[in-house]
Amino acid sequence: MKTDRQKEIINVSLELLTDYGIQGLTIKNLSKKIGISEPAIYRHFDNKVEILSALLDFFRQNNECFFEKEVEESIPAPDKIENILMNHFRVFTENPSLVTVIFAEELFRNEAALSDKVISIMEYNSSVIKTILDEGQAAGTIRKDIPSEHLILIVLGTLRLFVKKWQLTGAPFSLMDEGSKLTASLRRLLKPVNGS
């Protein structure tokens, strides 16, 4: 369980990431923005990597909680996929800096602990999406002519590319509004064709 100060450091880290990117997240900038000394930051986190690790943990906990809820819902698989994507769009709209952390595998290549956490999140997401797609294929609500392993890449690749484009172009459009249109198109792609 995080202390109040640790939560504050995590929240301010998210603000710095949003405003200045990964390069702006420094212990010096954190201490200045919070109004405490740099040694005070180190009493709560050993280094920047530990702070980023806490951010990934924060995302994973929220993500897993929502995914588990969605899997248990008694609704068709396409609705579950849409809900998961729209939830991600909402979370990223509310916390744009999470995009920097979640989709920054290249930044974590030399930090095994962070890289492992990102891979773990990706594997978890893939396994849940596969469960939903397999369920949909068995129920006839998701096309069967494409293996679920390929459909996973289509769903998660769509999410990633769309969100990264939004972030890299300075968020010029509503992730929720355009995301709703995108998920409608994705539903059409997943829909069974001629009974397949």
Residues 125 and 168 in one domain: yes
Residues 62 and 123 in one domain: yes
Instruction: Answer whether residue 11 is part of any domain.
Output: yes
Q: How many domains does the chain have?
A: 2
Tokens encoding 28: 């010096």
**Contact between residue 14 and residue 55 where contact means Cβ atoms under 8 Å apart:** yes
Residues 84 and 39 in one domain: no
pLDDT at site 118: 84
Alpha helices per DSSP H over 109-174: 112-139, 148-168
Instruction: Answer whether residue 78 is part of any domain.
Output: yes
Instruction: Answer whether residue 94 is part of any domain.
Output: yes
* pLDDT at residue 105 greater than cutoff 80: no
Model-level pTM? 0.83
Tokens encoding 137: 């294929």
- The sign one gets for the Cα dihedral 55, 186, 193, 154 is negative
pLDDT digits (tens, 9 = 90+) for 4-62: 899 899 889 888 887 887 788 899 999 999 999 999 999 999 988 899 888 888 888 88
* Greater model confidence, 130 or 57: 130
pLDDT at site 62: 80
Domain extent for 155: 56-190
Give percent of the chain with pLDDT exceeding 70. 96
Instruction: Answer whether residue 196 is part of any domain.
Output: no
Average pLDDT of the chain is 89
Residues 64 and 151 in one domain: yes
Q: What are phi and psi of 55, to 5 degrees?
A: -65, -40
pLDDT at site 107: 66
Residues 27 and 69 in one domain: no
Computed on alpha carbons and rounded to an integer, the radius of gyration of the chain in Å comes to 19
Residues 35 and 110 in one domain: no
Tokens encoding 57: 């943990």
